[in-house]
Structure formats: structure tokens, C-alpha cells
Chain A
Amino acid sequence: AQSVSQHNHHVILSEAASLELGCNYSYGGTVNLFWYVQYPGQHLQLLLKYFSGDPLVKGIKGFEAEFIKSKFSFNLRKPSVQWSDTAEYFCAVIAFSGGYNKLIFGAGTRLAVHP
């Protein structure tokens, strides 16, 4: 069965530190990849997505992610975090396997940024 692994459940950083959140998926076929973010008390919202083309995708608020097919990875990065980046981040994958193509979420990573 397809699955998504997020390696870090909790990350604590100081402002201006660099961020990298790991995401690996288990599926050998075509995938669409997403990072969603849930700020405290807010809707789950899309941060960025990869469907095809340039494997380095840029999202909102200075985030980017790189799809490395050979590593089955889609890590999220930001060069310099801000206190307002404190949130929970979810990696998600759609694995195309015929029939219904389900969106599969990782367990999430809680990021706390200290001023």
C-alpha cells in the first residue's frame, strides 16, 4: 500500500534558521506531491505542489520543495524561517493506480519557531 513518511514529528528552530522537513513516499509509479500547512486555528491550506516539469517547486511565503524521483522524496525547505511559520506541515501524495486516486497524508511535522 502507498504510504507517506515524515521523519520529524516536532522541529524547534530559532528565527532566521534554515528549515528542511523530510518527506518520503512509497510508490513506484506516477505521483502528484503536495505540502499543506495548518497554522494555529486556521484552515489546512496548500503550500506548494508538484505535478510535472521542474522538480524544484516554489510555493507561498518563501517555501520550496524538491522532488527527487530516485529517492522517492519531496523535502520542504525554507532558507530563513520566521516566527509566523510556526504551524503543522503535512506532506501528501496522490498515487495514480487506476480507479480512484487517493490523497495520502503523512503524519505531519509540528514546527515551532522561537523569536
Chain B
Amino acid sequence: DGGITQSPKYLFRKEGQNVTLSCEQNLNHDAMYWYRQDPGQGLRLIYYSQIVNDFQKGDIAEGYSVSREKKESFPLTVTSAQKNPTAFYLCASNSHPGEETQYFGPGTRLLVL
């Protein structure tokens, strides 16, 4: 089955802790994206990567970091600098940036203890 997987489904973070959300795709897509979904605000772009070993900040990158060491993987780290991390995080990919449809993973809900 081709698709995007995200793990874990739920993640709990303690104050001052960094946590990493996993995103894997087996669609052979070049571009990958991380979005944050908050009620009433739609999806906001955190980071994106158009090719391996390259990534760019989106609209709300502060307090987050990413890496793209492999084409199929784009993990997101929520650092202690992110003061309001409670949200639903969605990973997406497409074959190339721009006009192609983006395909979304099932999401990870992050909660702060």
C-alpha cells in the first residue's frame, strides 16, 4: 500500500521537553510538508522540503525543527521553545512542489502535560 504514515497517533509532552513526530511516505514523492491544524484556523505551514537535504521555513516555523536525510522521511521536532504546542500535526507530500495535489497523513495529536 502506498501512502503516508505518521506516528505516534497521540503524543504527550512535558514542559521543557523536545518531542519528535515521525512522517514516512512510500510514494516516491520529492516534496514533503508539515502543517499545524488548530480549531478555526485551518492548516498553517510549519516547514517544507522540496528535495532531500533541503528544507525551508513555512509561516510558523518558530519552535520547530526538521530534517530531511532520506527522501521518504521528514521528522518534525517540537522544541521547548514552542510555547503553545498543543495541536494536530499533519504531514503531507506531493511529487513536486506547486501544482500537484498534496496527500496527507493521518496526523499526530500533541498534548502538553
**A, B: real partners:** yes
* CB contact list, B3-62 vs A, under 8 A: 33, 35, 40-45, 48, 50, 56, 58
B106 at the interface (CB under 8 A from A): yes
A residues 22-81 near B (Cβ < 8 Å) are 32, 34, 36, 42-46, 49, 51
Interchain CB contact under 8 A, A105 and B43: yes
Q: Which residues of B contact A108 (CB under 8 A)?
A: 40, 42
B102 within 8 A of A: yes
The answer, among A6, A45, A102, for a CB contact under 8 Å with B104, is A45
Contacts of B48 in A (CB 8 A): 100
Contacts of B35 in A (CB 8 A): 105
- What is the interface residue range for chain B against chain A? 20 to 34
Known: A44-B90, A107-B40. A51 touches B99 (CB 8 A): yes
The smallest C-beta distance from A39 to any residue of chain B, in angstroms, reads 12
Collect the chain B residues with CB atoms within 8 Å of residue A90's CB: 42-43
- Which of chain A's residues 70-115 have a Cβ closer than 8 Å to chain B? 90, 92, 94, 96, 100-103, 105-108
Q: Is the CB of B42 within 8 A of A34?
A: no
Query: Considering the complex of A and B, which 6 residue pairs feature the smallest CB-CB distances, nearest first?
Result: A105-B42, A44-B104, A105-B43, A101-B98, A107-B42, A108-B42
Q: B residues near A, CB below 8 A?
A: 33, 35, 40-45, 48, 50, 56, 58, 90, 92, 97-99, 101-102, 104-107
A/B interface sample: 23 pairs, CB < 8 A: A4-B42, A6-B42, A32-B99, A34-B101, A42-B106, A43-B107, A44-B90, A45-B104, A92-B43, A94-B99, A100-B48, A100-B50, A100-B56, A100-B97, A101-B97, A101-B98, A102-B45, A103-B45, A103-B102, A105-B42, A106-B42, A107-B40, A107-B41
